[in-house]
Structure 1
Amino acid sequence: MTFNPLQERGIPLDRQLRNWRELNVAPIDPDHADPYTRCRIIALNGIEVESIMFSHQFARHCPDPAVKQQLAEVRYIEAQQQKVVNWLLPGLASVLETTIAYEQVAVDLTAWVARMEPDPYLKQAYQFGVLEDFDHLYRYANLFEMIEHRKAEKLVDDLTEVMPGRPTYLHHRHPIDNVREPYDKNTTDPISKLHALTIMAAEQQTMNFYMNVGPTYMEPIARQLYQEIGLIEEEHVTHYESLVDPGETWWEMLLNHEYNECYLYHSFMQTESDPKVKAIWELHLNMELEHLRLAAELFKRHDGRDPEQVVASALPAPVTFEPNKAYVRELLATQIDYTTIGTGYVQEAHERFEQLQQAIHGGDVSQSPGELVIAENRDKSGREYRHETEGPHPVPSLRVNR
């Protein structure tokens, strides 16, 4: 059955405010919860954070007091939603445990989007990025084993493999080579807009998380690894945000944000295994339907178009967290040696890439934190940590500069 969020009616805005008791939700059980429930929580937290920050930016550029007041009213409810979603994460989880969950989200959400993306150029952007998040998972898993003496496979429940991707030291590129070409808002498929917003928000959340938690560790290798991967996440946000057409109006961007929230809450309702969490997704969907209605009214009034000229008249197939092992292995076998130049991709090093590599690594990539964490874990454990569920993966020779 098709679901058109533009035709649905949600909870009126003046009935959406919740008190402290309602906001203080019980967290999931870290030992028994479905890892993909945790992934859905993390993904939706990123979406809510993006919605709040976008609304603040819109307000800072909006001269109309009435619009600013409406944005503030909706934004306060979005802030309550964000607290509920993020507070579903268990307080017992360590920062590293949460980090590994963040990277599982990055791998399986980006891989799913890459599989479903209809535009070849946009698909390539997601394929490129997923191999880097995949390698981050592997580096953090080795750190997790060293510091907490635990196996990442228990956290990801064998749903996502833990093994090398494109080596982390190769992710450092000249900033201008992280800027991609945007989609054309007038011709692109509506699902492509939702994909771009979703992955941008997920990567932005990861960037913010690493920027803040990195210095909370005492171990030098942990502080260094968060610093290195935090820099790469900044590159990833640049990579994904540049896919969005900068010609979209503020009203159009607001409409897309609210529609995307409806899409994701509706999607995750379909597959959520935890009844209490599913009830929250359903409640938030009914709130977001009203937020979308209000955004659509602003869009019609100020942009002068019908919302269905911008967004789909029915929600696309739901976003699904599921294993992507075969797909990621195929990308490892065919695209591990890619880097970027300008807005394109190449399989050979180029001068600007080599200069950045020399500057950031000082000519010795073995001293990059991503390499040091593997060396240190090998020294302590007798081998590096990895967890493969389908036999050894292919390791093509790298043609980019080492």
Structure 2
Amino acid sequence: MTFNPLRERGIPLDQQIRNWRELDVTPIDPDHADPYTRCRVITMNGIEVEAVLFSHQFARNCLDPDVQRKLAEVRYVEHQQQKAVNWLLPGGASPLETTIAYEQVAVDLTAWVARMEPDPYLKQAYQFGVLEDFDHLYRYANLYEMVQHRKAEKIVDGLTEVMPGRPTKYHHRHPADNVREPYDRNEASPLSKLHALTIMSAEQQTMNFYMNVGPQYMEPIARQLYQEIGLIEEEHVTHYESLVDPGETWWERLVNHEYNECYLYYSFMETESDPKVRAIWELHLNMELEHLRIACELMRQNDGREPEEVLAPELPNALTFEPNKAYLRELLDTQIDLTTLGAGYVREAHERFERMQEQIHGGEEPPSERVIDEHRERFGRDYRLETEGPHPVARLREDQSARA
């Protein structure tokens, strides 16, 4: 059954304000909730934060007070949605536990998008980024066992493997090499636009989260690791936001944001295992349908175009959180040694990359390496969760040695 959000009617805007009792949602159970329920919560928090920030930027660049007022009305509801979604996270979780969940989102969300992306250049951008998030998960999992004496398998539940990806110390690139070529707004698939906006929003929220929670730890290695990976998340936001065509008008961006929210709430409503959380996705979908209608009307009035010119006539297949183990192992086999040069990708450590490495590391091992060294000193091993056999890069090296 197809679902066209342009033809559906939502809750009227003046009926969307919730009181405190309605906003006081019951958080998910940290011990028994589906890990992918937590992933959906984290994703939608990032999507709603992006919606609010975009609306504020739009208002600051808008000369029409009537449009500013309409944006403010919708934005207030988006704020309430963000509060309801983010407050689904359990209060007892430590920032590090939430961090591991954030990285599980980054791994399985980006891997799914990479698998589904129709544009080869955009697909490569997601494939490149996911191997770095994969390594971040591994570094934080080792820190988690050191600091809180717990294992990340309790959080990821075996759905996502924990093992080295592209080593974090090699993620530090010259800023100019983080800028990709954008899609063409007139040629790109509507699905490609949704993918770019989704991953950009998720990475932006991860960046914001690390910027704020990093100094909450007393252990020097924890504070240092958050600093290092937080800087890389800024690179990732640059990487993904540059995929979006800067020639899109404010009105195009507005309808794309609202359509994407409809798409994701619909997707998560269709795949959610927790009935209480699914009810929130359904409620927010019905709110977003009205937000989309308002955005479309503003586009007609101010951009002189029909929203059907830029939006898909029906929602794509539901975005799904699911294991991507085989796909990630294939990428580890084939792309672990990539870096960027200009808007492309290379396997050689070029001059600009090496100069950045010297500047940021200063001849010392970065926190991402030291956390593994300290873990091995304490436990005699690093922490991994490999459910599909040996690490593919180790297996590849064994095969190469055997052939030699």
Same fold (TM over 0.5): yes
- Equivalent positions of 1:256-271 (< 5 A) are 256-271=256-271
User: Would you say 1:208 and 2:230 are equivalent positions?
Assistant: no
SS at match of 2:340: strand
The amino acid across from 1:195 in the alignment is H
Q: Is the 8 A contact 1:336 1:396 kept in 2?
A: no
The CA deviation at 1:393 is: 1.5
Q: Supply the distance in 1 between the matched residues of 2:265 and 2:113 (Cα, whole angstroms).
A: 16
Structure 2 unaligned segments of length 5 or more: list them: 397-404
After the TM superposition, which of the residue ranges 15-24 and 387-396 deviates more from structure 2? 387-396
User: Would you say 1:370 and 2:373 are equivalent positions?
Assistant: no
Paired position in structure 2 for 1:387: 385
- Equivalent positions of 1:87-106 (< 5 A) are 87-106=87-106
Q: Supply the distance in 1 between the matched residues of 2:148 and 2:286 (Cα, whole angstroms).
A: 41
Counterparts in 2 of 1:172 and 1:397: CA distance versus 1, 3 Å:
farther
SS at match of 2:392: coil
Q: Supply the distance in 1 between the matched residues of 2:211 and 2:359 (Cα, whole angstroms).
A: 22
Paired position in structure 1 for 2:67: 67
Q: CA RMSD in A?
A: 1.0
Q: Supply the distance in 2 between the matched residues of 1:363 and 1:129 (Cα, whole angstroms).
A: 25
The amino acid across from 1:386 in the alignment is R
Q: Supply the distance in 1 between the matched residues of 2:273 and 2:394 (Cα, whole angstroms).
A: 38
Q: Is the 8 A contact 1:333 1:396 kept in 2?
A: no
Q: Supply the distance in 2 between the matched residues of 1:155 and 1:211 (Cα, whole angstroms).
A: 22
The CA deviation at 1:228 is: 0.1
Paired position in structure 2 for 1:332: 332
Give TM-score, length-normalised by structure 1: 0.98
Counterparts in 2 of 1:396 and 1:381: CA distance versus 1, 3 Å:
closer
Q: After TM superposition, which residue ranges in structure 1, 4 or more long, deviate above 4 angstroms?
A: none
Output one character per residue of 1:318-363: Cα deviation in whole Å (capped at 9) or x when no partner.
Answer: 1000000000000000000000000000011100000000111112
Q: Supply the distance in 1 between the matched residues of 2:255 and 2:208 (Cα, whole angstroms).
A: 24
User: Would you say 1:149 and 2:149 are equivalent positions?
Assistant: yes
Output one character per residue of 1:357-399: Cα deviation in whole Å (capped at 9) or x when no partner.
Answer: 01111123xx20000000011111111101100111222799x
The amino acid across from 1:129 in the alignment is G
Paired position in structure 2 for 1:353: 353
Output one character per residue of 1:107-148: Cα deviation in whole Å (capped at 9) or x when no partner.
Answer: 000000000000000000000000000000000000000011
Paired position in structure 2 for 1:33: 33
Q: Supply the distance in 2 between the matched residues of 1:159 and 1:397 (Cα, whole angstroms).
A: 21
Paired position in structure 2 for 1:158: 158
What percentage of aligned pairs have identical amino acids? 80
- Equivalent positions of 1:123-272 (< 5 A) are 123-272=123-272
After the TM superposition, which of the residue ranges 375-384 and 103-112 deviates more from structure 2? 375-384
Output one character per residue of 1:191-232: Cα deviation in whole Å (capped at 9) or x when no partner.
Answer: 000000000000000000000000010000000000000000
